[in-house]
Amino acid sequence: MAPGLVEPTAQFADLHSVDTKSPLKLKASVNYVPGRNFVEKHDETYKYEDLRPRFPDLHWPALEEVPYNDKGLLGDPEFKHLLSSATDVFDYNPKIGTEVHGVDLANLTDAQKNDLARLVSTRGVVFFRNQTNFDIDAQRELGKYFGTLHSHATTACPRRPGLEDVHVVYTGEGSPDLRALFTPTFLWHSDVTYEVQPPSYTSLKVLTGPPRGGGGDTLWSSQYAAYDQLSAPMQKYLEGLTAIHSADLQAQGSRDLGRPVRRDPVTTEHPLIRTHPVTGWKSLFFNPGFVTKIVGIPKTESDHIISLLNEIVATSPENHARFQWNKDDVAFWDNRVTNHSASYGFAPHRRHAVRVCCQAERPYLDPNSKSQEDDLSERYGIPKANKDGSGIVNYND
């Protein structure tokens, strides 16, 4: 969207408002100009002033391993507690993404929280609309129920003191468009996978954002589905490999901007294939933004595998869920089994959101665990994908 093209001027008929007694007479009209949106103005009494970003000049010790007990293991397999008050629930596609209506995240029972964890671990990402009661204090309390909150070493914290475990996403009206600095695949990532205990359940609430159609969508990619997309020989091969996840590039970028790095950057080795403790499903555990090398193989081989996995994560639409935000919407996702990517192109709108996540278990692989595709095929008779690419190609679209 061009930054200056924001004032709608033309009027077009609303074809849903036709006078049935006179088919040619239109009852009302709507203002519409392609690609233009109303821009909300924010004055000095901005409601979320205390949640604006700051970069405190602090230094924290290295993270220590903490116990983690996944609440999803306590959840009901049919999510009956969480969905008891739901007015609607639907999947975005078979692989990833579910939207739930009628549930107030600020007033969940423990049984409902456990079901939420189980649903998120199963579906990868779950969306809740119009969560006006779910303020930052409620968001942190729910996050702490799931585990020890993670404090990010480089990203912005809220201005309000005591919220250093909250990550602020903020793009103001005059912020530059940074797309030219990244490749599209690099923007796909799972949060802070360089930590020894990368996060599990993560919530993001949009406080202020572009209007509908104004951009700023977020996309998620299923790592369960990415694993299933690989051939059986490739799955077996990757199950024997580990990858290096590094925080160095992120830390150096903050230093170059003159911002503090609150914890020394770490480099950690994790399995390329992991098992989820709740679902028991295998997933790819690959992060385009932080994986630098694959251990134990030549660099040429490592680079080609990284390129292959980048392509699978970023360009497989059947593995993706795309969410168009409104104010007070919340996404809950599981960083262990998803990657996600922001989208640009929402200038000149302000986009302000707050994220809370907790540390999970150290990634591991149970060689006896199943894939999502195998499990669902056995349970429901869902046919498996044909992975033989040597057949005749006849693509007619």
Q: Which two tokens stand for residue 97?
A: 């993404």
Cα–Cα separations (whole angstroms), residue 361 to 32, 67, 196:
50, 8, 8
Q: What is d(CA 114, CA 230) in angstroms, rounded to the nearest whole number?
A: 31
* pLDDT at position 35: 87
Q: Pairing mode, if any, of strands 338-342 and 218-222? A: antiparallel
* pLDDT at position 26: 53
Q: What is d(CA 239, CA 220) in angstroms, rounded to the nearest whole number?
A: 23
Q: What is d(CA 98, CA 129) in angstroms, rounded to the nearest whole number?
A: 12
Is-contact 201 332, C-beta < 8 A?
Answer: yes
Q: What is d(CA 221, CA 186) in angstroms, rounded to the nearest whole number?
A: 13
Beta strands across the sheet bearing 320-323: 320-323, 218-222, 338-342
Give me the amino acid identity at 382: I
Burial of 129 (0-12, 13-18, 19+ CB in 10 A): middle
Q: What is d(CA 343, CA 244) in angstroms, rounded to the nearest whole number?
A: 26
User: Hey, is 374 helix, strand or coil?
Assistant: helix
To the question of domain 48-380 being in CATH 3.40.50.2300, the answer is no
Question: What's the chain's average pLDDT?
Answer: 91
Is-contact 209 349, C-beta < 8 A?
Answer: yes
Looking at per-residue confidence, does 137 or 392 come out higher?
137
Confidence of residue 3 (pLDDT cuts 50, 70, 90): very low
Helices (H) and strands (E) in the chain — how many of each? 7, 20
Cα–Cα separations (whole angstroms), residue 368 to 274, 280, 281, 356, 364:
11, 9, 10, 32, 12
CA atoms within 13 A on the CB side of 212: 2
**For the chain, what is the largest distance between any 2 Cα atoms, rounded to a whole number of angstroms?**
75
Least confident of 43-47, 168-172, 228-232, 349-353: 43-47
User: Hey, is 150 helix, strand or coil?
Assistant: coil
Domain-wise residue ranges, the chain? 1-31, 48-380
Q: Which two tokens stand for residue 69?
A: 């007990």
Is-contact 340 188, C-beta < 8 A?
Answer: yes
* pLDDT at position 44: 79
Taking 70 as the threshold, does the pLDDT of residue 343 lie above it?
yes
Q: What is d(CA 2, CA 215) in angstroms, rounded to the nearest whole number?
A: 12
Q: What is the DSSP string of 47-88?
A: TTGGGSEE------PPPPP-----GGGGS-TT-TTGGGG-SE
* pLDDT at position 138: 98
Q: What is d(CA 362, CA 54) in angstroms, rounded to the nearest whole number?
A: 30
Is-contact 96 321, C-beta < 8 A?
Answer: yes
For 119-128, how does the pLDDT look when each residue is reduced to its tens digit (9 = 90+)? 999 999 999 9
* pLDDT at position 55: 97
Find out whether the peptide bond into 161 is cis, omega within 30 degrees of 0: no
Rg of the Cα trace of the chain?
Answer: 22
Confidence of residue 27 (pLDDT cuts 50, 70, 90): low
Q: What integer is the mean pLDDT of 76-97?
A: 98
* pLDDT at position 72: 98
Query: Percent of the chain beyond pLDDT 70?
Result: 93
Q: Note the pTM of the prediction, 2 decimals.
A: 0.91
